């Protein structure tokens, strides 16, 4: 009989461990932030050990919105590069501001679902709010510095302020027991930067909007990096925040794949939309673009991109590493998007004369990706591969040599250097055990 009782207790304990964290709150009165039996504490539910590390279907649904959003960023950049070269810098800078706002929305949402239980109703409502607001921002983005500026800024502010206020209302002003001021800090900074966002949307087209929005998005990023320091409330200590490292790493990997998928979309639409036969020069451009995308995928996932989940879990400060990875992924994704713009340019007009500004996309995109990948590699391994440094230096050194070459030849130069980086990775891995992550943070 005693053996049967032990077996039953073991089975119940095994079943309980499979339950999501929010379903086990009543059973863990000793853990901060969890409800005791009979209590009705409305606070947000922190992730538990048994919480699934996989992205939820709702999070993947959010990613679909950002697939569309990246196509709008890409198409706006293509329009920038095919316009008057004298205003390219200004136009591209505007697109960068819009892209930074979108990425911040996605990155903070990934952070929310990596620290709070994603199956909790309050968190799901916030993700749905983000889906709606991000879709409005994406639709307004092509004219974000035109007549839809207030729509873009309004959607951004509503997402940032709205979901923070919702957390306060849903939890009756008592959000996270372990850090009651967390939501208030975010609310303070979101309200502070809402002013230049809205004013910039109201003032109309012109440099004033650019200045105000550049200031606002810079403050948003700095506040996030510093833990939203707030008068009398202090700032959040990222080291004290629980983080689902595997989940957060997977979210970064998924978004980078979204960016690669968007570039494949550009390749396909550009090549298939040319009409007529598959001319040799355009077909060569198609092949170069596809090979470049494969190489970007290979360079990212070897090895740092592959072991990122283990790196965050093993880090001395997992939350800090997870937050810093958001910035390196931002750089890599921007490089992928810019590289995709180059695809459109050299597939459409592979031969003949080209504006010199096209080099910023065709060579600058891969260079930006390698720069971000170097920083990312340091975050995971505490070192940087010489092949990536050499690739970045050679991309810069190639600029004066290819000024008078057709766009397809410039793209061939870039893909040749990326092939060299990938081959160096392959050579270094021969006969060696896979390198384990060694994050310096």
Cα–Cα distance for residue pair 304/332, rounded to 1 Å = 13
pLDDT of residue 45: 75
The pLDDT value given to residue 47 = 82
DSSP 60-98: HHHHHHHHHHHHHHHHHHHHHHTS-GGGHHHHHHHHHHH
pLDDT of res. 275: 61
Q: Which residues of the chain have pLDDT under 50?
A: 1-41
Beta partners for 107? none
pLDDT of residue 88: 80
Distances (CA, A) of 235 to 315, 322, 326: 22, 18, 19
Rounded Cα distance between 156 and 103, Å, is 11
> In order of start, what are the domains of the chain with their CATH numbers?
57-236 (no CATH), 245-429 (1.20.1410)
Query: Looking at 160-248, which runs of residues are DSSP E strands?
Result: none
| Other Cβ atoms closer than 10 A to 46 | 23
Provide the sign of the torsion angle of the four alpha carbons 64, 67, 73, 79, taken in this order: negative
What is the pLDDT at residue 86?
64
Q: What does the pLDDT read at residue 173?
A: 67
What is the structure's pLDDT at 3? 42
pLDDT at 36: 36
């Amino acid at each position: 009989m005693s053996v049967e009782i032990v077996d039953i207790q073991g089975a119940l304990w095994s079943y309980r461990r499979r339950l999501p964290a929010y379903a086990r709150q009543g059973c863990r009165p000793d853990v901060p932030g969890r409800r005791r039996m009979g209590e009705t504490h409305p606070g947000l539910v922190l992730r538990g050990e048994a919480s699934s590390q996989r992205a939820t279907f709702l999070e993947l649904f959010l990613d679909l919105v950002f697939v569309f959003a990246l196509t709008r960023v890409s198409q706006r950049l293509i329009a920038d590069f095919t316009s008057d070269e004298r205003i390219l810098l200004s136009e591209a800078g505007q697109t960068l501001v819009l892209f930074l706002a979108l990425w911040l929305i996605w990155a903070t949402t990934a952070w929310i679902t990596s620290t709070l239980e994603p199956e909790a109703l309050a968190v799901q409502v916030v993700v749905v709010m983000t889906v709606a607001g991000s879709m409005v921002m994406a639709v307004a983005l092509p004219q974000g510095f035109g007549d839809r500026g207030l729509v873009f800024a309004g959607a951004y502010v509503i997402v940032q302020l709205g979901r923070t206020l919702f957390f306060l209302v849903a939890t009756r002003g008592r959000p996270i027991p372990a850090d009651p001021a967390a939501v208030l800090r975010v609310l303070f900074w979101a309200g502070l930067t809402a002013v230049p966002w809205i004013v910039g949307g109201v003032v109309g087209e012109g440099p004033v909007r650019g200045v105000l929005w550049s200031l606002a998005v810079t403050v948003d990023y700095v506040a996030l990096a510093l833990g939203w320091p707030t008068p009398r409330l202090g700032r959040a200590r990222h080291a004290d925040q629980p983080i689902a490292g595997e989940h957060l790493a997977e979210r970064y990997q998924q978004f980078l794949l979204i960016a690669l998928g968007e570039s494949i979309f550009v390749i396909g639409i550009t090549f298939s939309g040319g009409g007529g036969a598959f001319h040799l020069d355009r077909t060569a451009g198609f092949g170069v673009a596809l090979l470049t995308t494969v190489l970007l995928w290979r360079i990212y996932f070897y090895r740092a991109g592959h072991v990122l989940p283990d790196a965050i879990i093993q880090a001395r400060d997992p939350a800090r590493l997870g937050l810093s990875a958001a910035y390196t992924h931002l750089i890599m994704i921007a490089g992928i998007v810019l590289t995709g713009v180059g695809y459109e340019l050299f597939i459409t007009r592979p031969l003949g004369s080209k504006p010199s500004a096209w080099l910023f996309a065709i060579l600058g995109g891969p260079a930006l990706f390698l720069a971000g990948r170097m920083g990312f590699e340091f975050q995971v391994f505490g070192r940087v591969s010489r092949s990536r440094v050499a690739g970045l230096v050679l991309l810069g050194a190639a600029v004066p040599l290819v000024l008078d070459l057709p766009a397809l030849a410039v793209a061939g130069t870039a893909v040749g250097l990326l092939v060299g980086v990938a081959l160096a990775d392959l050579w270094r891995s021969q006969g060696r055990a896979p390198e384990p992550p060694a994050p310096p943070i």
